Amino acid sequence: MDYTTSELAILSAMNWLHLLATVVWIGGIVINVLAISPAAKESLEPPMMMRLWGAIMKRFRKMVYVSIGIFIATGIVMMMMNSAYASTFDFGDTWTLFLVLKHIFVLILIIMAIYMLEGVFPKLKRLAAKGPSPELAKADKLQKRVGAINLMLALIILAFTAVNGAVSMLV
């Protein structure tokens, strides 16, 4: 399909913003789970570790919510402009099937991000301020599990994106 110059400009801008949101959010998950969290736990006592996490999450939380908004807005525009997109529940081809699967995993990741940012992290911060305790250890394990799940979801989303990109090139 041939696009007009304005359609190409809009699609390019939407794709760029979508990719930027991906890099910010998923990159943040990777860095937090694989680098910052283990390094902070290894080198800081719980109260200091939570001060560091508080400063990080204050910034990262905003970035996650902005990224979610950008994902939704740009995703809708790109989907509607894509000639391969038939309708929301039309699973007639590989591209649409993987798009729907990707969206399911993105929705789960959004829910998990909100749970981490609004539930797990505040509880962990509250408990860490009191010092070591069994409750803190339990909350820390939950934070690690949720972080690992978020990382896994993010990697699956990237895999579905790669499949969709490959299918688009073959059509």
Residue whose pair of structure tokens reads 């790669």 in the numeric block:
162
Report the half-sphere exposure of 28 (CA within 13 A, side-chain side).
18
pTM exceeds 0.85 for this model? yes
The whole-number average pLDDT for the span 143-152 is 96
Question: pLDDT of 46-73, one tens digit each?
Answer: 788 888 988 999 999 999 999 999 999 9
- Residues 111-138: tens digit of each pLDDT: 999 999 999 999 988 888 888 889 988 9
Quick one: 130 exposed, middle or buried, by C-beta within 10 A (0-12, 13-18, 19+)?
exposed
Burial class (CB in 10 A: 0-12, 13-18, 19+), 16: exposed
The domain containing residue 45 runs over which residues?
A: 5-170
Query: What span, in angstroms and rounded, lies between the C-alpha atoms of 134 and 46?
Result: 13
Least confident of 14-23, 53-62, 76-85: 76-85
Number of structural domains (the chain) is 1
Mean pLDDT for all residues in the chain: 89
Query: What count of residues does the chain have?
Result: 171
